[in-house]
Structure 1
Amino acid sequence: MQLERFASSPIGDLRPISGTDGRNGRTYEHCAYVAHPLSTEPVLSGQTWRAVTSASRALAQLDQASRQVPNPRILRRPTLTREAQSTSALEGTFAPIDEVLAADESDPAGYSAELIEVINYIRAADDAFDFVAEQRVITTSLIETAHKQLVDGTESETRDAGRVRRCQVAIGSPDGTIESSRFVPMPPGPDLEASVRDLVTWMNDSTAARDPLVAAAMSHYQFETLHPFNDGNGRIGRLLIVLQLMVDGLLQEPLLSVSPWFETRRSEYQDELANVSISGEWDSWVQFFSAAVEASAIDTANRVNLMLDAQRDYSQRLQDSGYRGGLARDIVEILVESPIVRVPNLARRFGKSPQGVDQAVQRLVKVGVLKGPYGTYRKVYIAQEVHRAITSRSS
C-alpha cells in the first residue's frame, strides 16, 4: 500500500503491523489503514444532493413497480439471480447466468464451484431479506450468518467462516505481498470487532438526522474499508446496501440490483472507495454511489415491467387457447421467477406426475409461452420473453 497516499487522511489513521504472511511465509512490516467510526452526515455540495435526489426518486419508482402484483416476492428471484451472478463476478467468480437461472438448489450435485458460490449468495441474500423484512433491523449476527452461508462448501470455508477475521488481509496485491497491495485494512482483534459493532449500530440509528441514501453510501464505504471477513466482503457489502435501504424504508421489496453497474466500472468503484480514505471528501463517492443506485433502480424497474408484461401475455395466450388445465396456469405463474424449466423439476415443485407436467408443458409450447426443448438431452424449456428481460445487457 502506498502509505504516503493515506498518511494525511482526516477520517482514519495508519497503524503499524508486522508478522508472517500465511500465504507465502514472508515476514512483513508495514501499516494498515484504520478508519474512524462514522459520525454525522458530511457537508455535501448542491451537485451531490441533486444526484441523491434523483437516485431516491428512481428508488421510489422501483418500489412502485413492485406493487403491481399481489405477490411481489415472485419478482425477487430473477433480480436476485442477476445480482448474485454479477456480484460474484466482481470478486472473480464467474458462472453463466443461464446456469444460475436453471439451477435446482435442492440438488446441487455436479455443479461447478463457481455455480455453488453464486447459489450460496442467493440463499444468504434470501434469508437476510426475510429477516430484515420482518425485524426491520440489521444485526452483527445477521451479517455473520450471511457470510457463513456464502462460503459454505467452498474453498473460502475456513475456521473463520461466519466470524470476523483473525488474520491480516491485503487487497489487490500484484505479487502476493502485503507491501505491494492496493489497500491494507485494519488488523484483526478486538478493535476490528468493535468497529463492526459500531458500524451496525450506526446503520440502525433511526434517530439520526441524515438522508437514507447518503447513509447507505457511507455504510458501504465503511464496511468495505473495514473488510471484516477473510473473503466475501464485496458481496456482503453490496448485499448490505439493499438491506439498509429496506431498514430505512426506501425499499419494501429487495429488487435493487447494483452489482451489474459496479461490475462495468470496477476500477472506478475501487478508486472512489480509496479516495474517501485518502482525502476524507465524500462528494465524489456519494455522487458515484447515487449514480449507481439511480441507474440500477431504473434498469431493474424496466426489467420488472417487461417480466410482468410477458406474464400477462402468457396468461392471455393460455386463456385464448381455451385450455382449462390448472397445471399449465400454475406453471405460467412461476415463469417470472423461473424462466428456464425442466419437467422433472416442475413435477417435484407441484407434486404432480412427470407425465401430467409434460402434457401441460407441451400445451404451453403449442401456444408460444415456452420454447424448446433444448439442451443435450432435450429437457430444457425457456420462457424467452422473461429470460430476455432478465439477461439482456443494460442500456
Structure 2
Amino acid sequence: MDKINITDNMETVSILKKVNIANKKLAELKGIVKTIPNEKILINFIFLQEAKDSSAIENIITTHDELYKQFIFDKSQHIAAKEVENYVEALYSGYDIIKNTELLTINGICEIQSILERNNAGIRSQSGTKILNAATGKVIYEPPQTKQEIEILFADLENFINNDALYPELDNLIKMAIIHYQFEKIHPFFDGNGRTGRIINVLYLTLKKLLDSPVLYLSKYIIENKQEYYSKIDYVTKTNDYEPYILFMLDAVYETSCHTISIVEKISKTMMEVKHKIRDELKLNYYSQELINALFYMPYTKIAFIEEYLNITRRTSAKYLNELCEYNILSKHKLGNNVYYINETLANILSNT
C-alpha cells in the first residue's frame, strides 16, 4: 500500500461538477442549522441517528425505542444500544478534540476508536489481519501488516488531514473522500475501523469549516447503498481509479445534506407548534424557551432530566411533565418502577427518517 498520491482521476470534469453541487447543498445545510434555537438539540438528534445507522452497517442492530431508553436509564438492557451509546460518546469526544485543538491527529483518532471499542489496544501491532468476504469467507484485501508500516501510512494520512498547504487547490470534499478511503485501507485497528472512519468524515468537514458542527448524517446513504459503497472502494484498490468512488461519496454528501435539511425543517416546525400551543393557546405560566429546548433535547425524557435542565424541584418537574401529558404534548410510560415521557412527534420524525 502506498502513501497518498493525488492523480488526475481524482479531479475529473464529472467530479468537479458534482463537487460544486455538493458544496452548495452543504452550505445550505450549514445556514439552516442556525435556525435551531439550541444547536445541541440537532447535534443529539443527528448523532443518535448517525450512531444507529453507522453501527447497523457493522450489523449492530438496535431499535429507536431501545436506543432512547439506553440514554435515560443508567443500566442498558440491550447490548447493541450500548454500542450505539459508545458511538455517540465517540462522536462528541471527536467534536471536542477538533474544537479545542483545530487538529485531527493520530492520537485523537485513537481516542475515538478506544471509546467505540472500550479498550486501549491502539494501533495493530501483530500481523495476520485480513478482510474477508462475509458470504464466502474468501480474503478480499490484506491491509498493511507491520506496525511500522501502519504508523508510516497513518502519519502520512495525519499530515494530509491537517496540512492545508498540501494540495491547496484540491477541494475539501475530494480530500474527505480520499481520507476515508486511505483510512479504511490502512485499517489501523483490530476493531472499529469502519465506524471510526465514518466519524472522521464528518469531523473533517467540521474541521475545515464546511459545517459549524458535525451534523451531516452520512451513514444513512452508506447503509442504503452498502454493496455499492464496498464495491467502489474495492474498485479503487484493484484499478487505482478513484473517479467512481469519489462520485459516490459526493452523492452521499449531497443526498444526506438534503435529508438533514429536511430533518432540521421538521424539528423547527414542530418546536414552533409546541411553543405556540404552550405559550399562546394554553397560556401555561411556566412557558420558557428553555422548557421548549428541554422537551426537544431527546425524544425520551424523565423527571430528573427536566429537573436538572430547568433547575427546578423534582416535584415541579413532575407537575410540568404530567400536565403536558394531559395536553397531549407528551405521553407517559412505565418500565418496571421507572416512569418516562415521550415527545411522540419528535420520536416519529427520527424513526421515519
Q: Same fold per TM (> 0.5)? A: yes
SS for the counterpart of 2:6 is coil
> Is residue 228 of structure 2 the alignment partner of residue 268 of structure 1?
yes
- How far apart, CA to CA, are the structure 1 residues paired with 2:156 and 2:279? 56
> Is residue 124 of structure 2 the alignment partner of residue 165 of structure 1?
yes
Give the match for residue 392 of structure 1. Answer: 352
Q: When you count helix as a share of all residues, which structure comes out higher? A: 2
Select the residue among 187, 201, 225 that pairs with 2:159.
Answer: 201
Q: Deviation at 1:348? A: 4.8
* Unaligned stretches of 5+ residues in structure 2: none
The two structures have a TM-score, normalised by structure 1, of 0.82
Give the match for residue 59 of structure 1. Answer: 26
Q: What's the CA shift string for 1:216-264, capped at 9, x where partnerless?
A: 0000000001111111101000110111111222111111011111011
- How far apart, CA to CA, are the structure 1 residues paired with 2:12 and 2:71? 48
Map 1:236-385; keep pairs closer than 5 Å.
236-320=196-280, 321-325=282-286, 330-373=290-333, 379-385=339-345
Q: Write the letter of the residue equivalent to 1:187.
A: Q
SS for the counterpart of 1:166 is coil
- How far apart, CA to CA, are the structure 1 residues paired with 2:27 and 2:52? 25
Q: Write the letter of the residue equivalent to 2:125.
A: R
Give the match for residue 100 of structure 2. Answer: 134
Map 1:56-205; keep pairs closer than 5 Å.
56-104=23-71, 108-152=74-118, 157=119, 160=121, 163-167=122-126, 168-174=128-134, 180-205=138-163
- How far apart, CA to CA, are the structure 2 residues paired with 1:383 and 1:390? 11
48-57 or 37-46, which deviates more = 37-46
SS for the counterpart of 2:131 is coil
Query: Is the 2:41–2:298 Cα contact (8 Å) retained in structure 1?
Result: no
Aligned length: 348
Change (3 A) 1:176 1:112: farther
Map 1:32-43; keep pairs closer than 5 Å.
34=1, 36-40=2-6, 42-43=8-9
Sequence identity percentage: 21
Query: Is the 1:174–1:181 Cα contact (8 Å) retained in structure 2?
Result: no
Q: Write the letter of the residue equivalent to 2:139.
A: S
Query: Is the 1:136–1:246 Cα contact (8 Å) retained in structure 2?
Result: no
Query: Is the 1:102–1:338 Cα contact (8 Å) retained in structure 2?
Result: no
135-144 or 166-175, which deviates more = 166-175
- How far apart, CA to CA, are the structure 2 residues paired with 1:37 and 1:136? 23
Q: Deviation at 1:70? A: 4.5
* Unaligned stretches of 5+ residues in structure 1: 1-33
Q: What's the CA shift string for 1:70-127, capped at 9, x where partnerless?
A: 432321000000000010111111121222233337x542432212111111111101
Q: Write the letter of the residue equivalent to 1:210.
A: L
- Alignment RMSD: 2.2
SS for the counterpart of 1:381 is strand
